[in-house]
Amino acid sequence: APTELERLCTFPVILISHLPLAVRPCPMPPEVANGNHNGQDKAFFTAGMSVRYTCNAGFYLVGNAAVFCRASGNWSQPRPRCEAANCPVPQIQNGRIVALRSAYAHRDTVTFECDPGYAIRGHRQVQCQPNNTWEPPVPVCQQGKCRNRALKLPCSPKPPFLAL
């Protein structure tokens, strides 16, 4: 029979070896390419704890942002992933993009302006969405009419005008 000292020294080892599943820790959360999670500063994770993922600039999150440490000692599935966001360069006839770039990532905004004699129909500014589309939709430039309340002159002839 073990002595009392042997029982005291071995009791914690026996207890640890028979831990119920509910208190088994999870390993560090899985890494996600082109992203990070907010659990980097934690030393351990127990059942019920969660971490939240975010993606680096130019990438967007696909899936649930949060994963949870399960009682079985592993992380909930599926884990999120970060994918490159690349909206196509929007096209606008009779107008242009202010500060045109060759590529646009998620959350980038584009501002439009119309050529002289044309007016914007829709929103002047649009934003690249996670599904690689622009919201609100890209506007159009429609031929406009001058609206001068004092003189009510038509827009033709086109500029340059002669100043008197």
Q: Give me the residue spans of the domains in the chain.
A: 21-84, 95-143
**Cα–Cα distance between 55 and 65 in angstroms, integer?**
10
pTM: 0.49
Question: Per-residue pLDDT tens for 21-48?
Answer: 446 899 999 999 999 999 999 999 999 9
Q: Which pLDDT score, from 0 to 100, does residue 141 have?
A: 98
Whether 128 and 89 have beta carbons less than 8 Å apart is answered as no
CATH placement of domain 95-143: 2.10.70.10
Q: Which pLDDT score, from 0 to 100, does residue 15 have?
A: 43
Q: Which pLDDT score, from 0 to 100, does residue 40 have?
A: 92
Question: Per-residue pLDDT tens for 15-27?
Answer: 444 545 446 899 9
C-alpha angle with apex 118: 112 to 120, nearest 5 degrees?
Answer: 40
95-143 and 21-84 share a CATH fold: yes
CATH topology for the 21-84 domain: Complement Module; domain 1 (2.10.70)
